[in-house]
Amino acid sequence: MALPPRPPSPSRAPTRPPTTSSATTSHPAPVGLRLSLEVFFSGSLSDPGRRSISVVPGKSYLRILSGPLVGGVLVLEDRRVFYLGSSQECALTLPDRSLEPRHACIRRDDTAWKIVDLSRARVLRVNDIPTDERLLVGGEILRLGETEVQFTFRRPRGARDSSSDSSPYLEVVDGLAEDIGRRIELKPGMGFTIGRSVQAELPLLDCKASRRHCQVTVDEAGAITITDLRSLNGTRLNGLETTEAVIHEGDEISIGRSLLCCRAREFTSIGA
């Protein structure tokens, strides 16, 4: 007996094996990770030519963990370059003979903070690793000679004003890249010259500055006076040409193409 023919089965669309392409399922990175990535890349990962949105804090802190200045906190703000070394021109002056005048610097741009070793011996260590240049994201331990400091974006707890290191100072904030960051403390009873001469206490490479451009004096009461020394291009205080004037905190001095600012150092010590 013959069997009846089997009815035709309904047609089915051909099935495809599951794919693992990242285009099928999207797993967005956590917000904190995305922000951290923005610190490291100045452009988008998908479009390297597009500049990323800046999320870098404008203020950071150096907390001194060891060495002669242990317990101190230095605030880093209002500038792009902060020098660390044995020179009085540095943002952080360390009394360590093994350090060079400008031993290292911390730089800030629109997308990142970084530290750069400027020493000839290349002895800067970050998290105990010899480093020539490194991006800083907060929490790193920097070692310069006998001193260890921590770079952080969080103000250390217990920080208080320290009257022992509150001297105002003059600093080059604009002009030639080689001059920016040069500074000198303004202490009672001192006097010094600014200009292109190598004998000037605050020397400038600015070709528009005279060799002995101006003189700054600080009397015993702390009053600061600037005097133009018959310079070719003159001295300006807050945009106005002057031959002699008293300087106050926040004043800006124009010498050639250079701009100097009178500031009070924000350096604190940690209370017990």
From CA 41, how far away is CA 36, in angstroms rounded?
Answer: 9
How many whole angstroms from its chain centre is CA 118? Answer: 14
Q: Note the pLDDT of residue 95.
A: 83
Q: Look up residue 225 and give its amino acid.
A: T
* Listed residue (231, 226, 272) closest to 252, CA to CA: 226
Q: Which two tokens stand for residue 141?
A: 């331990």
Q: Note the pLDDT of residue 15.
A: 56
Q: Note the pLDDT of residue 197.
A: 94
Q: Note the pLDDT of residue 212.
A: 96
Q: Quick count: other Cβ atoms within 10 Å of Cβ 5? A: 6
pTM for the predicted model, two decimal places: 0.47
Q: Note the pLDDT of residue 43.
A: 38
Q: Note the pLDDT of residue 222.
A: 84
Q: Note the pLDDT of residue 266.
A: 55
Q: Note the pLDDT of residue 193.
A: 96
Q: Note the pLDDT of residue 231.
A: 96
Q: Note the pLDDT of residue 181.
A: 85
Q: Note the pLDDT of residue 37.
A: 37
All structural domains of the chain, each given as residue ranges with its CATH number in brackets, are 59-154 (2.60.200.20), 168-264 (2.60.200.20)
Q: Note the pLDDT of residue 105.
A: 93
* Listed residue (109, 133, 97, 11) closest to 57, CA to CA: 109
Strands 129-130 and 125-126: antiparallel
Q: Note the pLDDT of residue 56.
A: 62
Instruction: With a cut of 50, list the residues of the chain below it in pLDDT.
Output: 21-26, 29-54, 160-165, 269-272
* Listed residue (106, 182, 118, 183) closest to 150, CA to CA: 106
